[in-house]
Homo-oligomer: A and B are copies of this chain.
Amino acid sequence: MRIGVLTSGGDCPGLNAVIRSVVHRAVVDHGDEVIGFHDGWKGLLECDYRKLDLDSVGGILAQGGTILGSSRVQPAHLVDGVERARGHVAELGLDAIIPIGGEGTLKAANLLSEAGLPIVGVPKTIDNDIASTDVTFGFDTAVGVATEALDRLKTTAESHQRVLIVEVMGRHTGWIALHSGMAAGAHAIVVPERPFDIDELTARVGARFAAGKKFAIVVVAEGAKPRAGTMAFNEGGKDIYGHERFAGVAQQLAGELEKRLGKEARAVILGHVQRGGTPTAYDRVLATRFGWHAVEAAHRGEFGMLTALRGTDIVMVPLAEATQTLKTVPADRYTEAETVL
């Protein structure tokens, strides 16, 4: 068999572990040939690739990033994207393509699959918002990095007797905020799924000070917003350098809470550290299993599918199904987190 693999979209710890696993399983166990496209779909569209053998994946299991490079280019960006992809697949004699990526990548994968190309997708997102799989690799690492930062920030918040508003990743869903907030014992967690009421939040943090505590930690997902009409809120826009955000939700929350509580409040934005670097053991194992099962699915001819974790099993799920909705934090998970704070 001849298999093409590519990584597309933002950085995510575990990408290299998937690539390595695909090569090990395909080349060593099945005697397949594997090629890696450079810079995501761009490599497929421009027929830019290299052969991947055992040596080319040596020592990459624990490395962050992706040895294949990535980009946000997608087949639909070109008028003849699908046809070019089809042409290159034929030209290269590929029996299967394994794209590793997030929601956008998987939608593109579905498009190509519906156009008849032999696709087996591997889901990737630190946000954990892909439906049909219990968890995606990268999420555990992101939560771990955020939790370690929160552990450190606690002593500082306490020493300085402050409220710290810590912004973690999550534009559309609050999984990282939920898990890191629970893991670090944050005193309030704010997620995009539940627009916050600034009065309630103030009351919650205020109650803590009333009970004699000297600091508070609020974890907020970058995509969180106030309930309409409860607080002036700058939706974003560009800063003077044309960058996307001016004063994000954390900074605005810090301003409001400081004003309302009469306590020093500061914003901390964890940023990109959450998505880079070496993956946790959990993510390495999950990524490795995804790669292994993607190769197996290809050999069974199960195309148009996605690897997914269900309980402790890896199963195959239709690509079409997996990309229809985002997996959001359900109310009961939020309730669990809120009551133990």
Contacts and interface: CB of A to CB of B under 8 A. Distances in A.
A340 B155 contact: no
Contacts of A62: 151, 184-185
B273 A159 contact: no
Given A11-B155, A281-B179, A284-B183, A243 B272 contact: no
B243 A254 contact: yes
Is the interface on chain A under 10, 10 to 19, 20 to 34, or 35 or more residues? 35 or more
B155 A276 contact: yes
A247 interface: yes
A281 B135 CA distance: 15
A135 B159 CA distance: 22
A197 interface: no
Contacts of A172: none
A212 to B, nearest CB: 10
Contacts of A214: 69
A270 B278 CA distance: 18
Interface stretch (A43-51, A85-93, A108-116, A137-145): A137-145
B281 A143 contact: yes
Interface string A329-341: 0000000100111
A247 B239 contact: yes
Most buried by B among A214, A259, A276, A292: A276
Where chain A touches its partner, the secondary structure class is helix
A328 interface: no
B339 A158 contact: no
Contact of A156 (B65, B135, B144, B239): B65
Nearest to A336: B292
A50 to B, nearest CB: 16
B184 A61 contact: yes
6 contacts: A64-B155, A70-B159, A152-B278, A155-B276, A184-B284, A243-B251
Interface of A: 10-11, 20-21, 24-25, 28-29, 61-66, 69-71, 134-135, 140, 143-149, 151-161, 164, 179-180, 182-185, 214, 239-243, 247, 251-252, 254-256, 258-259, 266-273, 275-278, 280-282, 284-285, 288-289, 291-292, 310-312, 336, 339-341
